[in-house]
Amino acid sequence: MDKPLTQAPDSTVGRRTHRRRITLLAGLLALVGLLCWSQWRALASTKDTYATALRQLDQMRIDKERIEKLRRTPRTATSRTRPNEELLAQIEQSLEAAGIDRAKWHDSVPQPAVRLPRSDYKRMTTRLYFEAITVKQLAAFAHHLQSSDPTLHVSAVNLTNRHTDRPDFDVDLAVSYLVYAPQEGRQTSHGLP
Amino acid sequence: MSRTTTVCLLTDECIHAVTCERRGRGWEAVARSQQELRLPDSLLVSHNPDELADAIAHAVNESHTSPSSITLVLPLQWCFTHVLARPKKRVTAEALAYEFEQYLPLPLENLTCAFVPSGNGNMVGVGIPTTPMAELIAALSKRNIYVEHITVDAITAAHALDSVNGSSSVMILDARWGRMVTGIKDPGRTVTAAFGLSECDNLAAAVAQQLQHRALSDGGIPPRWSVLCLADTMSESALEPVLNNGEERPCYFSPAEAVDTVALAAASVPQALDLRTGPLAGEGRWSQVTRLASQCMLCVLALLLVLTGGVHIHKQSLDQQFTTVNTAQREIYREVFRTDTLPPGAALRVASERIRLEGLTSVRGTVATQSTEPTLQPLATLRDIVAGLPTDVRVMLLDVRLDDKQLTIRGQTLKHRDAERIVETINNLPELVAHPPRTTRLRTGGVEFSVIATGVRSNGQTSHTGS
């Protein structure tokens, strides 16, 4: 026992305490730094989100005005392929309105859908066959058909005069409408970020 | 690189500051200064620590050094000592302190203790009052003087002189105080004693009495011992009766030599006894740096906390604004779609609805029909042709084929010229280009004709070339 014996340094003022305090402070600093960094990141994220939301709101306001205007505009295309029964019912109504006897409507043949080149539309065509109707009746029928549904239009007319002594024709009429069907992958202008 | 330390030696009437520089293996006193101050006989009597700290600071500054730390050498008078019997096994300072406590006039909690092994295996317990020393250390710290070691003059000198001249028994004499330590290194009887000299008329007689009383009762005067005289007023001749008392004359150190000897002893062997421990433990040489670092860290911590708080408040504010925007979006969505729920990507849905409606209305419909191919409106074209025919032309239509690209008419008329006029009428229409008619005279009279016309684009180019 050659060395002097001394008491252990008091824990309240000792170097160990000081070291502990420094370590604690460093730990706290790191913790608060981390907290500050995460808050900063969250703030940056919120800022981005807010700026995006603000831009979206502006665009939504513009879109809303445009939508309200477009909803008042007559449609030139449909959003879906209409059932054949519905189309035939509409044709019957127009025939009746044009004063054409139902018996003169000989046949109707739906055609395959055809996509218009470089567009978001498909053309749906149904060929109608009539016997012995006059041009006047045909015009009246077309007028009533388009009045009842603006999306429908006559895309082709074949008039054949079988009886030269009568003013009526056998008519082969193509009634078409456009279906709005955007192609997948085709670019559309949303106007959004 | 030389190392320098300042030793501050407290005597009864004076404070000595000695700057020691390490040279080779030893130390050398390079600067000295002193400040007169009458020190109290004990730390337990009331005294002003600031006054003492001022004097120490003055003495230290007078030594023309700027030490960052000093070794404080206390007089044995300020300490409580007791020689404890040889421990039977290895013990800690804390265990010895409990044994030491029974010889102390103060509770152990009020003391800072250290234990020095003596030559015969016993332990010399040394204790100083904690509170007054702590006050003194704090007062010195305020004056930018850091106390690195605290030691006791007689014990430190006994350790040092043993290696110098082989005398581990020393007596230190001041004007008012005397103290002695024997048997620290040699196997003789260990004695530590502090005694007063101020009341005695005959100094030599008083010292001799102490010698007889304390140390020499059972062993006589130690063979080699030293007398260190720190008081200028005390001459060697006055001590002659004492110095000549034993078989061997002791080493006598004059005041100047004594101060240097104790200072060098304290500089060289602070580890012999260091009371800067326990409750008086220092915060280390770098305590000021670490304290500064702590303060800096606290400042940064506070700054970071403020920054975090500010960022948090800003984020809350943005969140509120975002909620407002979200509400406005929901309102717009509700007006557009007549529903209260706001799905994710509401803006995209509204935009999609706008695009869908554009597609369903004439705007996009027009765009869609603006393809490179010409498109005819069959009934309107037929009406335009019929309306454009000259009134004097008689025609019987046999077959009319009209689609969005081509017109074919087969009919009968009276003359070839009438067929030509029909073609002219068709060519007058901007959207059609008719080829020359094919006519055949009928046996029954009249002419049968057939006309083919094709639609044209706005630049006049025909869409079909085979007709």
Q: Reply yes or no on whether the pLDDT at B243 is more than 80.
A: no
Phi-psi group of B441: left, alpha or beta (phi > 0 → left; psi -120 to 50 → alpha; rest → beta): beta
Q: ipTM of this predicted complex?
A: 0.76
| Structural element, H or E, at residue A180 | strand A169-180
A170 part of contact set with chain B, CB < 8 Å:
no
Residues A119, A139: Cα–Cα separation, whole Å = 30
Residue A16's pLDDT is what?
Answer: 66
* Distance in Å, alpha carbon of B175 to nearest chain A alpha carbon: 30
- Token digits of residue B270: 């602070």
Residues B206, B212: Cα–Cα separation, whole Å = 10
Query: Using an 8 Å Cβ cutoff, are A171 and A156 in contact?
Result: no
User: Could you tell me which of B112, B90, B109, B108 has the C-alpha nearest to residue B99?
Assistant: B108
Separation of CA B253 from chain center: 53
Residues 38-97 of A with CB under 8 A from B: 39-40, 42-43, 46-47, 49-50, 53-54, 56-57, 59-61, 63-64, 66-67, 70-71, 73-79
Decide which of B345 and B357 is more confident.
Answer: B357
Residue B316's pLDDT is what?
Answer: 93
Q: Which of A53-57, A161-165, B383-387 has the highest mean pLDDT?
A: A53-57
- Token digits of residue B344: 């994710």
Q: Reply yes or no on whether the pLDDT at B461 is more than 50.
A: no
Residues B403, A156: Cα–Cα separation, whole Å = 4
Read off the pLDDT of residues B34-47 as tens digits, 9 standing for 90 and up: 888 888 888 888 77
pLDDT category of residue B9 using cuts at 50, 70 and 90: very high
Residue A41's pLDDT is what?
Answer: 93
Tracing tokens 């529903």 back to the chain, one arrives at B339
Residue A51's pLDDT is what?
Answer: 94
Phi-psi group of B387: left, alpha or beta (phi > 0 → left; psi -120 to 50 → alpha; rest → beta): alpha
Q: Reply yes or no on whether the pLDDT at A66 is more than 90.
A: yes
Instruction: Give percent of chain A above pLDDT 90.
Output: 46
Residues B243, B224: Cα–Cα separation, whole Å = 11
User: Could you tell me which of B415, B428, B419 has the C-alpha nearest to residue B387?
Assistant: B428
- What's the pTM value of the predicted model, to 2 decimals? 0.52
Residues B96, B90: Cα–Cα separation, whole Å = 10
Contacts of B326 in chain A (CB under 8 A): 53
CB atoms within 10 A of CB A77: 22
Residues B392, B277: Cα–Cα separation, whole Å = 135
User: Could you tell me which of B23, B19, B33, B22 has the C-alpha nearest to residue B66?
Assistant: B19
Residues A50, A75: Cα–Cα separation, whole Å = 36
Closest-CA residue in chain A for B401? Answer: A158
Contact B93 A5 (CB under 8 A): yes
Instruction: Please state which of the ranges B247-256, B376-385, B411-420 shows the lowest mean pLDDT.
Output: B247-256
Q: Reply yes or no on whether the pLDDT at A17 is more than 80.
A: no
Determine the residue among B324, B326, B375, B379 to mutate to test chain A binding: the one whose Cβ has the most chain A Cβ atoms within 10 Å: B379
Contacts of B375 (CB under 8 A, 6+ apart): B369, B404, B405, B455
* Distance in Å, alpha carbon of B220 to nearest chain A alpha carbon: 26
Read off the pLDDT of residues B85-116 as tens digits, 9 standing for 90 and up: 877 777 777 888 888 888 888 888 888 988 88
Residues B163, B170: Cα–Cα separation, whole Å = 13
pLDDT category of residue B24 using cuts at 50, 70 and 90: confident
Query: Using an 8 Å Cβ cutoff, are B275 and B126 in contact?
Result: yes
Contact A32 B305 (CB under 8 A): yes
Query: Using an 8 Å Cβ cutoff, are B34 and B8 in contact?
Result: no
Contact B123 A5 (CB under 8 A): yes
Closest-CA residue in chain B for A41? Answer: B311
Residues B35, B55: Cα–Cα separation, whole Å = 6
Instruction: Please state which of the ranges A81-95, A177-191, B70-84 shows the lowest mean pLDDT.
Output: A177-191
User: Could you tell me which of B270, B266, B265, B274 has the C-alpha nearest to residue B114?
Assistant: B274
Of A25, A153, A156, the CB nearest to B294: A25
Separation of CA B322 from chain center: 36
Read off the pLDDT of residues B146-205 as tens digits, 9 standing for 90 and up: 888 899 988 888 888 877 766 667 888 888 888 888 777 666 667 777 777 766 666 667
Q: Reply yes or no on whether the pLDDT at A65 is more than 90.
A: yes
Length of chain A (residues): 193
Contact A79 B356 (CB under 8 A): yes
Q: Is A105 helix (H, G, I), strand (E, B) or coil?
A: strand
Length of chain B (residues): 467
- What distances in angstroms separate CA B246 from CA A81, B157, B182, B216, B249, one per listed residue? 134, 21, 15, 10, 6
Contacts of A188 in chain B (CB under 8 A): 355
Of A4, A18, A36, the CB nearest to B283: A18
- What distances in angstroms separate CA B248 from CA B43, B162, B209, one per listed residue? 36, 16, 18
Torsion sign (Cα): B90, B92, B97, B98: negative
A9 part of contact set with chain B, CB < 8 Å:
yes
CB atoms within 10 A of CB B18: 27
Residue B467's pLDDT is what?
Answer: 27
Residues 300-329 of B with CB under 8 A from A: 300-301, 304-305, 307-308, 311-312, 314-315, 318-319, 321-322, 325-326, 328-329
Contact B336 A66 (CB under 8 A): no
Residues 323-382 of B with CB under 8 A from A: 325-326, 328-329, 332-333, 335-336, 346-348, 350-369, 371-373, 377-379, 382
Separation of CA A20 from chain center: 65
Instruction: Give percent of chain B above pLDDT 90.
Output: 19
Q: Reply yes or no on whether the pLDDT at B364 is more than 50.
A: no
Complete DSSP assignment for B246-257: SSSPPEEE-HHH
Residue B368's pLDDT is what?
Answer: 46
A11 part of contact set with chain B, CB < 8 Å:
no
Query: Using an 8 Å Cβ cutoff, are B415 and B377 in contact?
Result: no
Strands A121-133 and A114-115: antiparallel
Contacts of B398 in chain A (CB under 8 A): 160-161, 164
